[in-house]
Amino acid sequence: MRAMDLDELNERAISAARNLGVDDAVALSARSAESIIRFANNSVTVVNRVEEAELSVYLAKDRRRAIASTSNLEPQVVKKFVRDLFSSMKGLPESEYVPLPEKAVKYSPSSFGYDRKLENLDERLVEMARTAIQAATKAGGKRSAGVISAGKATVAILTSTGTSGSDSRTSITLNIRSFAEKEASGHGLSCSSTLSGFDPEGAGTRAGEGAKTMKGASEPEAGKYQVLLSPAVASNLVEPVAGAASAFSVDAGTSCLAEKVGKAVAAQPFSLTDHGVTPGGLDGRVFDDEGVRTKSNRIIEEGVLKGYLHNLTTAKKWRTQSTGNAGFVTPHPWNLEVAKGDSSYEEMVREMKRGIILTSNWYTRFKNYRTGEFSTVPRDGAYLVENGEVVKSLKGIRAGDDLLRLFSSVRLLSKEREWIQWWEVDTPTLCPWVLADGVTITRAYG
């Protein structure tokens, strides 16, 4: 038995599909390898190495459509897998069907986003973890927990209309949290598509400094505050806005951007773009799941919603073109970018009369995706600002709002931006600090 390469897998799958007389077929095969080191209490807790490959196949026949994926890639099995998928379609009803683009495209990998130095770090991750822990300790943290993940992924496509190609990505991310006391913690992230852009020492230092400054934190009065959101917090709240821009979400009733195209949904300084591939982007590729070339799509421009993200099916329904964001079922963003502003972080703090700086958050949950009403729980560094000065650190708070009101109240954006991808942010996002007005802050009162 031997391992097939991705192109060979795709060819077998499409050949089998053609023999079955399908109208359309797409084979997407992917291979990935990821090394992960986790630590807690300044000590490594586990090292992971995961190597995987998968084949996904889309078939359409007589307006019936089905998708399947398998990790069983033994050469003799692929043909049966496609046959089984085809058989499963017989009882299906007709559904919305849009043929794949007739013109075959041969895709070449994008010229950025892959760094060979990230291919097999393995044991070097141990040294990086040590660097991050030591930096956090030096900056004031007593004990640190975190994870470094480094990986590479290649995706190859072949369609029944002859479109083919492959693209590859590498990424390395560190999420570190340092504790100076049980309830005094700080957070640091470093996310990069290249080894040279990875800064475990800087992330560790930020986590340690945050922990040190959170000692003696207290609960503020509940009420409405200006908030200065770090790139990590802002990215966590930008991601559901991009999700709401998926035409599938709009159709399903789970989008706060429904019926808003051409209307103001954010303040004038706020612009949001999705990139199929972009310098520094940790995800994405040059083609989407339907073989359409990905591109940069402006979702929100100077506060106005420009349009939704589409695959071929949603585009037909909305009488427009695919934006290169397929998902066979659900269009989705690849790499998000929030436009930078022209303020420094220090200038933004000085602008605050009475506000709160939030450096990290988690557990964002929605009361209603249609209205965008949510609350989220700040954690790690949170600071009360009065008349442009940080006066004390805060704990025990919750921030609540609705997404459109929040982004409509944005006043300033920083000129410094950071790539964010971690436990609370799936879609890589290049994001500045964001200053917004009138966010409701609550604390437990039951």
Partner 1 sequence: MGAERAKDLASVAVSKAQAAGASYAEARVQSTWERQYVLKNGEPQPSFFSEGYGIGIRVISKGALGFAATNDMRRESVIQIARKAVSLAHASSAVLKKPVAMDGSKPVKKKWSPPEKEKIENADATWLRSVLLEIEGRVADGRAGIKLPGRLFFLGAELEKRYYVNSDGARVEGRLPRVGFVGSLTAIEGGATAQRFIQQGETGGLEVVERVGLVEKVEEEARAMGKVLRTATKPPTDRLDVVLSPELSGIAAHESVGHPQEADRVLGREGAQAGESYLKADSLGRRIGSEEANVSDDPTLIHSNGFVPVDDEGVQARKRFLIKDGVINEFLQNRTTAREFGLTSNGAARSVSFDREPIIRMSNTFVEPGDYSTDELLKEVKHGVLFKTFTEWNIDDKRFNQRYVALEAYLIERGELRGLVKSPVLEITTPKLWGSVKARSKHMEFEAAVCGKGDPQQGAPVWTGGPETLLAGIKLGAR
Site for partner 1 in 406-425 (CB under 8 A): 423
**C-alpha to C-alpha distance for 423 and 361, rounded to whole angstroms:** 10
Q: Which one of 10-18, 44-52, 267-275, 428-436 is the stretch in contact with partner 1 (CB under 8 A)? A: 44-52
Which of 160, 241, 222 has the alpha carbon at shortest distance from 410? 241
Q: Half-sphere exposure of residue 50, counting CA atoms within 13 Å on the CB side?
A: 13
Q: Which one of 7-15, 171-179, 278-286, 299-307 is the stretch in contact with partner 1 (CB under 8 A)? A: 171-179
Which of 367, 423, 359 has the alpha carbon at shortest distance from 395? 359
Q: How far is the CB of 124 from partner 1 (least distance, A)?
A: 9
- 54 is a contact residue toward partner 1 (CB under 8 A): yes
- 21 is a contact residue toward partner 1 (CB under 8 A): no
Residue type, 30: A
- 20 is a contact residue toward partner 1 (CB under 8 A): no
Interface residue with partner 1 among 1, 76, 102, 259 (CB under 8 A) is: 1
Task: Report how many helices (DSSP H) and strands (DSSP E) the chain contains, helices first.
Answer: 9, 18
- 398 is a contact residue toward partner 1 (CB under 8 A): yes
| Token code pair at residue 244 | 């709401």
Q: Is the dihedral of CA 437, 242, 338, 346 positive or negative?
A: positive
Q: Which is nearer to partner 1, 10 or 271 (CB)?
A: 10
Q: Which is nearer to partner 1, 128 or 267 (CB)?
A: 128
E strand spans, 62-121: 64-70, 106-107
Look at strands 389-393 and 184-192 and give their pairing.
Answer: unpaired
Q: Is 428 left (phi over 0), alpha (psi -120 to 50) or beta?
A: beta
- 370 is a contact residue toward partner 1 (CB under 8 A): yes
- Evaluate whether 411 touches 436 at the Cβ level (below 8 Å): yes
Which of 436, 430, 427, 434 has the alpha carbon at shortest distance from 239? 427
Interface residue with partner 1 among 225, 287, 334, 374 (CB under 8 A) is: 374
- Evaluate whether 435 touches 349 at the Cβ level (below 8 Å): no
Which residues fall within 8 angstroms of residue 284, CB to CB, at 6 or more apart? 113, 169, 275, 276, 277, 278, 294, 334, 335
Size of the site for partner 1 (CB under 8 A): 92
**C-alpha to C-alpha distance for 153 and 168, rounded to whole angstroms:** 6
Which of 434, 393, 418 has the alpha carbon at shortest distance from 202? 418
Segment 129 to 168, residues that bind partner 1, using CB under 8 A: 129-130, 133, 143, 145-147, 149
Mask for 266-305, x = binds partner 1 (CB under 8 A): ----------------------------------------
| Token code pair at residue 320 | 């427009």
Q: Which one of 266-274, 345-353, 405-413, 438-446 is the stretch in contact with partner 1 (CB under 8 A)? A: 438-446
- 405 is a contact residue toward partner 1 (CB under 8 A): no
Interface residue with partner 1 among 19, 75, 92, 279 (CB under 8 A) is: 92
Q: Which is nearer to partner 1, 241 or 338 (CB)?
A: 241
Interface residue with partner 1 among 112, 318, 345, 362 (CB under 8 A) is: 362
Q: Which one of 48-56, 209-217, 234-242, 410-418 is the stretch in contact with partner 1 (CB under 8 A)? A: 48-56
Which of 165, 163, 21 has the alpha carbon at shortest distance from 103? 163
Q: Which is nearer to partner 1, 58 or 225 (CB)?
A: 58
- 190 is a contact residue toward partner 1 (CB under 8 A): no
Segment 196 to 255, residues that bind partner 1, using CB under 8 A: 248, 251-254
Interface residue with partner 1 among 9, 17, 29, 39 (CB under 8 A) is: 39
Q: Which is nearer to partner 1, 62 or 123 (CB)?
A: 123
Q: Which is nearer to partner 1, 271 or 360 (CB)?
A: 360
- 328 is a contact residue toward partner 1 (CB under 8 A): yes
- 98 is a contact residue toward partner 1 (CB under 8 A): no
Q: Which is nearer to partner 1, 208 or 341 (CB)?
A: 208
Q: Which one of 65-73, 195-203, 279-287, 429-437 is the stretch in contact with partner 1 (CB under 8 A)? A: 65-73
DSSP state of 289: T
Q: What share of the chain is helix, strand, coil (3-state, %, to 5)?
A: 20, 45, 35
